[in-house]
Amino acid sequence: MKDQIQMNDLSGGQTVIGAEALEPLAAALRGALLQEGDPGFDTARAIWNGMIDRKPSLIVQAAGPADICAAVDFARTNGLRMAIRAGGHQIAGLAVEEGSMMLDLSAMRSVRVDATAGTVRVEPGATLGDLDHETQAFGLAVPVGVNSTTGIAGLTLGGGFGWITRKYGMTIDNLLSADVVLANGECVRASAQENPDLFWALRGGGGNFGVVSSFEFRAHPVGPEVLSGLVIHPIEAAADLLPKFQELCDRAPDDLTIWAVLRKAPPLPFLPADWHGREILIFAACYAGDMSEGEAAMHELRALGTPIVDVIGPHPFTGWQAAFDPLLTPGARNYWKSRDFLRLGAGTIKAILDAVGDLPDPQSEVFIAHVGGAMARVAADATAYPQRAGHFVMNVHTRWDDPAKDAACIAWARQLFRDTAADAAPSVYVNFMPEDEPDRLGEAYGGNMQRLQEIKARYDPGNLFRVNHNIRPMLAQQAAQ
């Protein structure tokens, strides 16, 4: 252990922390305390987005809630900036900050299913794959995202949507309770009955209100197989097919989810080799109900145009949940821009197709997710996440390996973002926001922002939890106006 280390403080400067302060912290932990040069330090600081290469001054690897309390107390007492890492998948890279303290929750991965009650208790370091693995052993599932390596904590705190959201709601709509370590070091339970204002804020408000040490979810009967898969078309058909895709989404039953992906074809084993590397339109679909009903529900989708391949069929739910993992491996450089659309206008479709004709890297893509159904039957002010209308979420997912391509790839994403402004809804999914969009926080929370600021002032008045898409606490004079 170094005699002293310099660390970022909450005033915007730096402070020196000596060994005499670190030794009691290390002794209080069941987990580990790491500094640069220690075994495991570089592994702990690495996150999914390869563009982010930051070195914290100190890493606390928590093994349980007591370790979280110790870390929060240490940061508050010493006035330190603290980033919180769970799955490390957030596009903005806010799980790690240069020169600050990192609270690493990735070792806390327990998942406990109560099949009789239809609930599951999940620690914050668990991934979606961890959760699916355990719940599917009982024929159950929680609505989560579409990449199994994503962390459950960040996904949930930002909202969470995926293949069964239209049937069962967002991840936050299935959150029953959360155990939370507050900025003052207190451990509390948040639910509809206990600290309901905190519970409201956690459901979409990000990591602004405390550190969640455990999530309790409602689980639903799904699988073990679902009707799912891909229908792939030449990009030349997209101008005709995307409006028809929109019409199908408008009348789809809640069990059916269809998303569109536009990109260069990866070397998929079921795709003819002469299509590899060429621009394609992919319809990815999942039916969460009865297989025979799913066949009927997907008939129109599968009848569109003349596809190159159609590989829709029964697949294990866990396999479908991980189907896109090979295209989303950690370590590549990633930059995202996202918009919500209530409708996909002709101008938006043209802008997307023009951009896909000029992709900056074969790994880059545009995906368009359609959400609604059960999610849309929740009031905009029922949770912190406000965009409850059935809508399309466009993610301009720019991905590449060579740092020399940074400028070109980022410029491409920003241009498509500008070119699709006219049709966009005044909202954005906070989990898709890069670090350079602090001005869009109002879009993410809309009419819920004031209440979030009030709750922030109640639970974290000093803004200890600020290394995130930050909701600042409402000042007393603002509240009085």
Q: What b-and-e string marks burial along 262-271, b requiring 16 or more CB atoms within 10 Å of the CB?
A: bbbbeebeeb
Eight-class DSSP state of 474: P
Q: Domain containing 201: what range?
A: 111-221
Distance CA 108, CA 439 (A): 33
Are 414 and 292 contained in the same domain?
Answer: yes
> Where does 165-308 show beta strands of DSSP type E?
175-181, 187-191, 211-218, 220-221, 225-234, 256-264, 279-287
Query: 203: helix, coil or strand?
Result: coil
Are 262 and 330 contained in the same domain?
Answer: yes
CB-count burial class (<10 Å; 0-12, 13-18, 19+) for 324: middle
Per-residue pLDDT of the chain (481 residues; tens, 9 = 90+): 677 899 999 999 999 999 999 999 999 999 999 999 999 999 999 999 999 999 999 999 999 999 999 999 999 999 999 999 999 999 999 999 999 999 999 999 999 999 999 999 999 999 999 999 999 999 999 999 999 999 999 999 999 999 999 999 999 999 999 999 999 999 999 999 999 999 999 999 999 999 999 999 999 999 899 999 999 999 999 999 999 999 999 999 999 999 999 999 999 999 999 999 999 999 999 999 999 999 999 999 999 999 999 999 999 999 999 999 999 999 999 999 999 999 999 999 999 999 999 999 999 999 999 999 999 999 999 999 999 999 999 999 999 999 999 999 999 999 999 999 999 999 999 999 999 999 999 999 999 999 999 999 999 999 999 999 999 999 744 554 4
Are 90 and 122 contained in the same domain?
Answer: no
Distance CA 254, CA 370 (A): 11
Tens digit of each residue's pLDDT (9 = 90 or more) over 37-73:
999 999 999 999 999 999 999 999 999 999 999 999 9
> Please, what's the largest Cα pairwise distance for the chain?
71
Distance CA 92, CA 113 (A): 32
Are 241 and 295 contained in the same domain?
Answer: yes
Tens digit of each residue's pLDDT (9 = 90 or more) over 209-218:
999 999 999 9
Tell whether 445 is covered by a domain.
Answer: no
Partnered with residue 121 across adjacent β-strands are: 112, 216
Are 271 and 363 contained in the same domain?
Answer: yes
Tell whether 464 is covered by a domain.
Answer: no
Are 160 and 273 contained in the same domain?
Answer: no
Tell whether 457 is covered by a domain.
Answer: no
Are 98 and 42 contained in the same domain?
Answer: yes
Last residue of a domain, one of 171, 192, 221: 221
CA–CA distances in Å: residue 202 to residues 132, 156, 171: 22, 8, 12
Tell whether 376 is covered by a domain.
Answer: yes
Distance CA 418, CA 372 (A): 25
Are 187 and 64 contained in the same domain?
Answer: no
Are 78 and 153 contained in the same domain?
Answer: no
Q: Which two tokens stand for residue 362?
A: 């074969």
CA–CA distances in Å: residue 181 to residues 73, 152, 194, 198, 202: 10, 17, 14, 12, 12
Distance CA 37, CA 300 (A): 58
Number of structural domains found in the chain: 3
Q: What is the CATH number of the domain that holds 44?
A: 3.30.43.10
Last residue of a domain, one of 70, 87, 104: 104
Q: What is the CATH number of the domain that holds 177?
A: 3.30.465.10
Strand order in the sheet with 111-114: 111-114, 119-122, 211-218, 175-181, 187-191
Last residue of a domain, one of 196, 221, 246: 221
DSSP H or E stretch at residue 120: strand 119-122
Distance CA 269, CA 285 (A): 19
Are 210 and 152 contained in the same domain?
Answer: yes
> Where does 268-373 show beta strands of DSSP type E?
279-287, 309-310, 313-316, 333-341, 365-371
Q: How many C-beta neighbours within 10 Å does residue 7 have? A: 21
Cβ 86 vs Cβ 95: under 8 Å:
yes
Tell whether 429 is covered by a domain.
Answer: yes
Closest CA to 280 of 288, 290, 289, 272: 272
Are 217 and 125 contained in the same domain?
Answer: yes
CA dihedral 445, 450, 453, 458 (to 10 degrees): -130
Tell whether 395 is covered by a domain.
Answer: yes
Q: What is the CATH number of the domain that holds 294?
A: 3.40.462.20
Q: How many C-beta neighbours within 10 Å does residue 204 have? A: 26
Tell whether 469 is covered by a domain.
Answer: no
Are 47 and 92 contained in the same domain?
Answer: yes
Distance CA 240, CA 369 (A): 18
Tell whether 188 is covered by a domain.
Answer: yes
